[in-house]
């Protein structure tokens, strides 16, 4: 018994069409065309504004003297983050089971950064990481004091940003060891860093997500005024006629 045939017909796409798309003005996205912006936190300050971590001031200085930008520019390898939907099987049905979404999670990302002769890039990452704990008292820091952001952009051939994402509440979780070798005469020293973060968002259409509490209150106030004005229109119209 035949239950339907969906094979007959022309192909959806052919090779010539694919080549034409690649040769068009848009071209292709290249993994070597990207931009990274590391934004560390202000960090390490109590409600009184007095620094609680001896490295908080040092990190602020590095952010202002160009070290943060230099470290961003020397990030020679990094991964665009992914997203995983956590699921559980729905077995309360006949036939094949279905996977039901229950949440979502994100994996850490790795970055490789080139080091200058003064190792300023390594010092910058280490200083950022040390905001998570106080090396004098060994007490752990407040979450907001050591989390910052990382922005990753896909660039085209003209260095225009075509796509971007932002890692929210991130910090350098792991700084890998560095190997020294007499035989590696012409090799540049590099540092590998694993960044942990809470979540990431697409900067092309999620840049303002989540909306801050103040913006939500302002929007609620505007909507309330609009509803009040709209509710009065029928009464005003009836008086005119």
pLDDT digits (tens, 9 = 90+) for 26-41: 678 899 999 999 999 9
**Which residue carries 């005119």 as its tokens?**
240
d(CA 38, CA 68): 7
Give the pLDDT score at 215.
67
Q: Phi and psi of 219, rounded to 5°? A: -65, -40
Query: CB neighbours of 73 closer than 8 A, spacing ≥ 6?
Result: 36
> CA–CA distance from 150 to each of 4, 12, 211 (Å)?
51, 39, 19
List per-residue pLDDT tens for the chain, 241 residues long.
667 677 776 676 676 777 776 777 667 889 999 999 999 997 555 444 555 788 888 888 888 889 999 999 999 999 999 999 999 999 888 888 899 999 999 999 999 999 999 999 999 999 999 999 988 888 898 999 999 999 999 999 889 999 999 999 999 999 999 999 999 888 999 999 999 999 999 998 887 887 656 666 777 776 666 666 666 666 654 565 5
What is the helix (H) or strand (E) element at residue 216, kind and residue range?
A: helix 213-240
Reported as a single tens digit per residue, the pLDDT across 175-207 is 999 999 999 888 999 999 999 999 999 998 887
């Amino acid at each position: 018994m035949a239950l339907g045939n969906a094979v007959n017909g022309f192909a959806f796409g052919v090779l010539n069409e694919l080549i034409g798309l690649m040769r068009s003005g848009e071209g292709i996205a290249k993994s070597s065309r990207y931009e990274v912006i590391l934004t560390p936190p202000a960090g390490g300050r109590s409600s009184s504004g007095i620094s609680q971590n001896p490295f908080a001031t040092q990190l602020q200085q590095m952010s202002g003297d160009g070290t943060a930008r230099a470290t961003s520019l020397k990030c020679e390898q990094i991964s665009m983050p992914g997203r995983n939907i956590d699921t559980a099987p729905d077995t309360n049905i006949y036939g094949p089971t279905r996977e039901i979404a229950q949440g979502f999670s994100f994996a850490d990302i790795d970055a490789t950064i080139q080091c200058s002769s003064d190792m300023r890039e390594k010092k910058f990452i280490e200083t950022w990481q040390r905001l998570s704990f106080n090396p004098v008292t060994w007490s752990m820091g407040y979450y907001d004091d050591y989390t910052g952001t990382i922005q990753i952009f896909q660039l085209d051939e003209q260095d225009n940003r075509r796509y971007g994402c932002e890692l929210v509440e991130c910090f350098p979780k792991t700084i890998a060891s560095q190997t020294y070798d007499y035989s590696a005469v012409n090799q540049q020293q590099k540092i590998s860093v694993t960044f942990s973060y809470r979540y990431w968002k697409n900067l092309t259409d999620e840049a303002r997500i989540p909306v801050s509490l103040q913006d939500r209150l302002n929007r609620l106030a505007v909507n309330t005024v609009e509803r009040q004005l709209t509710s009065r229109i029928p009464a005003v119209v009836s008086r005119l006629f």
